């Protein structure tokens, strides 16, 4: 005997089918993105190994200092946008840094100019990296497997920043080898303030330094003045609602 449904029952069945379809699509989309993330990050790890072959790291006889050499002519054959090599102790951050014509391209392209949702480590397009920048800003995605800037959350842990040897950041460019010392670390809502690269005068720059130093969750007891140049690292928090920021001042040139 054929079952007869009321209009209310039919409407309820329709709603259940629609919800089921939405859930199936959502799960399929999530699975697709997870697979894509995995494929993209795996590809970037291989590319990182290959590009880092142009970098030679030598230690002096005391094994305390490193001399980093980059074959710029070779890396420029891979990508003419390559401008620096960034290395931070006890992290996975040891990357060739690129600089595009904007701050969008390398959010979803790697150093081989391939579409990649993990992107690459890149400098702000407004930076010159010729020695004249007051604030060099470098960006990277906070990847869960700790590639790109996925190590930055570990830098906010006490056991990392309490180790003085971790606080020096190496930035190698065609102009020379530069060492920066961390003086401020904090989390902030997305904004344009801390990524300023130009300042109208020493007074505005001094105010900028004062504000970003006061923001730090930890007092690094580091003196800084308008005569100092700084390096800024920026990545998203895991939920994407805020930015994790690290500032370091140039201590050698």
How does pLDDT run across 23-69, given as a tens digit for each residue?
444 433 344 345 565 688 888 999 999 999 999 988 765 556 788 99
User: How far out from the chain centre does Cα 96 lie?
Assistant: 12
Helix (H, G, I), strand (E, B) or coil at 41: helix
Least confident stretch, 62-71, 83-92, 151-160: 62-71
DSSP-derived letter for residue 193 is G
Do residues 131 and 155 make contact, with C-beta atoms less than 8 angstroms apart?
no
CA distance 241 to 188: 9
What pLDDT score was predicted for residue 11? 63
Do residues 169 and 63 make contact, with C-beta atoms less than 8 angstroms apart?
no
DSSP assignment of 62-99 equals TSS-EEEEE-HHHHHHH-TTEEEEEEETTSS-EEEEE-
Q: Is the backbone of residue 94 left (phi > 0), alpha (psi -120 to 50) or beta?
A: beta
User: How far out from the chain centre does Cα 26 lie?
Assistant: 29
User: Model's pTM, two decimal places?
Assistant: 0.85
**Whether domain 46-252 has CATH 3.40.50.720:** no
Highest-confidence range of 71-75, 141-145, 235-239, by mean pLDDT?
A: 71-75
What does DSSP say about strands 230-236 and 135-139: parallel, antiparallel, or unpaired?
Answer: parallel
DSSP-derived letter for residue 142 is B
CA distance 91 to 74: 25
> What does the mean pLDDT of the chain come to?
88
Average pLDDT over residues 88-103: 97
Q: What percent of the chain has pLDDT over 90?
A: 75
What pLDDT score was predicted for residue 28? 39
User: How far out from the chain centre does Cα 87 lie?
Assistant: 12
CA distance 212 to 244: 12
CA distance 90 to 151: 9
What pLDDT score was predicted for residue 245? 98
Do residues 242 and 146 make contact, with C-beta atoms less than 8 angstroms apart?
no
Least confident stretch, 5-19, 74-88, 116-130: 5-19
């Amino acid at each position: 005997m054929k079952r007869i449904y009321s209009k209310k029952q039919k409407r309820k069945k329709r709603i259940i089918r629609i919800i089921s379809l939405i859930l199936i699509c959502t799960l399929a989309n999530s699975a697709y993105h997870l697979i894509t993330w995995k494929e993209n990050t795996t590809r970037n790890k291989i590319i990182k190994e290959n590009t880092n072959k142009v970098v030679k790291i030598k230690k002096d006889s005391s094994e305390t200092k490193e001399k980093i050499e980059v074959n710029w002519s070779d890396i420029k054959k891979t990508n003419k946008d390559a401008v620096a090599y960034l290395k931070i102790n006890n992290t996975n951050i040891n990357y060739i840094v690129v600089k595009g014509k904007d701050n969008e391209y390398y959010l979803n392209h790697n150093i081989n100019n391939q579409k990649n949702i993990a992107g690459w480590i890149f400098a702000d397009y407004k930076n010159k990296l010729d020695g004249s920048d007051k604030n060099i800003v470098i960006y990277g995605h906070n990847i869960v497997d700790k590639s790109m800037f996925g190590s930055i959350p570990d830098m906010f842990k006490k056991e990392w920043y309490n180790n003085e040897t971790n606080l020096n950041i190496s930035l190698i460019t065609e102009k020379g080898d530069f060492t920066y010392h961390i003086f401020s670390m904090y989390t902030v809502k997305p904004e344009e303030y801390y990524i300023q690269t130009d300042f109208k005068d020493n007074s505005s720059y001094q105010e900028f330094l004062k504000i970003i130093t006061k923001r730090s969750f930890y007092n690094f007891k580091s003196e800084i003045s308008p005569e100092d140049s700084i390096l800024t690292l920026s990545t998203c928090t895991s939920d994407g609602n805020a930015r994790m920021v690290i500032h370091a001042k140039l201590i050698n040139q």
